[in-house]
Amino acid sequence: MIRQKSFENESSCLYLVATPIGNLSEMSPRAIEVLKSVDVIAAEDTRNTMKLLRAFEIKTHCIAHHSYNETESSEGILNLLRIGKNVAIVTDAGYPLISDPGQVLVQLAAKEGFNIIPISGSNAALAALVASGLCAQPFMFYGFLPVKENDCLHKLEELKKVPVTLIFYEAPHRIEKMLKRCLEVLGDRNATLARELTKKHEEFLRGTLSELIEVASDLKGEMVVVVEGAKIEEEVNMSMDELLEEVEHFIHEGYRVKEAIKETAQKFNVSKNELYAAYHQNHK
């Protein structure tokens, strides 16, 4: 076990600094203080970060730490920590590691016993969640679904029965396709699409997945999609004889035997195979 008392030791510090997701006023005094005091700032995109640093008159040296050089730059940052330098990680917007670079470095720094200190601030997923109108807890943050259709559908199948609110990120050019895949696998659940959070054109669209699809092609900006979790199905205490009566009811309504068994199994959340076997045992 490694026990970290962040401010009671002489180890180098790796700060995880949240930056504004849209409105510069979200930048906290503590974040500004840390970025001014560290030896180096490791940024996802140095061009974007330099604009932020200039806005707050921060002159700390800035280096690149993005997904394309994460392994290599992590080792370089570790070397800085080893010689006693303090480093801050920032991304283009929001919290490092949340669908952004930083995970590799944090894991390596933790193993070597360096202080890893979060500097709280903006996060698009949480901002969208609390304003969504959907159940705020429990929730599951997934991030970006896989781009390839088969991979995406497979992942949604895994999430289909998760009984908590789901949070996804998506890019505007993929949003319509992503929503259609969610509708196909998850069904027409309640959902909220939040875009341009904290910016002038901030917008929340609350409705069902099918309703969101109708307007998705016209939407722009960074997006968060919050989707209602699976309903927790109540346990059904019915005898097999009662279930078979339901099968007969469906048959009298015009269903074929196989369809009647399938409908009954889905309605009462029971095994279709066991119901099938019991039905045919009774009709020998």
Distances (CA, A) of 230 to 94, 153, 186, 190, 205: 28, 16, 8, 11, 20
pLDDT attached to residue 52: 96
Contacts of 270 (CB under 8 A, 6+ apart): 236, 238, 243, 264
pLDDT attached to residue 69: 83
Q: Do domains 13-122 and 125-227 have the same CATH topology?
A: no
Please give the model's pTM, rounded to 2 decimal places. Answer: 0.79
pLDDT attached to residue 2: 87
For every one of its 284 residues, what pLDDT tens digit does the chain have, with 9 covering 90 and above? 889 999 999 999 999 999 999 999 999 999 999 999 999 999 999 999 999 999 999 999 999 998 888 888 999 999 999 999 999 999 999 999 999 999 999 999 999 999 999 999 999 999 999 999 999 999 999 999 999 999 999 999 999 989 999 999 999 999 999 999 999 999 999 999 999 999 999 999 999 999 999 999 999 999 999 999 998 765 557 888 888 889 988 888 888 988 999 888 877 877 888 888 888 888 76
Answer positive or negative: Cα dihedral of 259, 262, 264, 266: negative
pLDDT attached to residue 236: 57
CB 39 within 8 A of CB 51: no
CB 145 within 8 A of CB 152: yes
Q: 65 — phi, psi (to 5°)?
A: -145, 85
pLDDT attached to residue 237: 73
CATH topology of domain 13-122: Cobalt-precorrin-4 Transmethylase; domain 1 (3.40.1010)
Contacts of 183 (CB under 8 A, 6+ apart): 209, 210, 213
Answer positive or negative: Cα dihedral of 144, 148, 152, 155: negative
Domain spans of the chain?
Answer: 13-122, 125-227, 240-282
pLDDT attached to residue 105: 95
pLDDT attached to residue 234: 54
pLDDT attached to residue 270: 79
Which overall architecture, per CATH, does domain 125-227 show?
Answer: 2-Layer Sandwich (3.30)
CB 122 within 8 A of CB 129: no
3-state SS class at 260: helix
Which amino acid is residue 25, in one-letter code?
S
3-state SS class at 255: coil
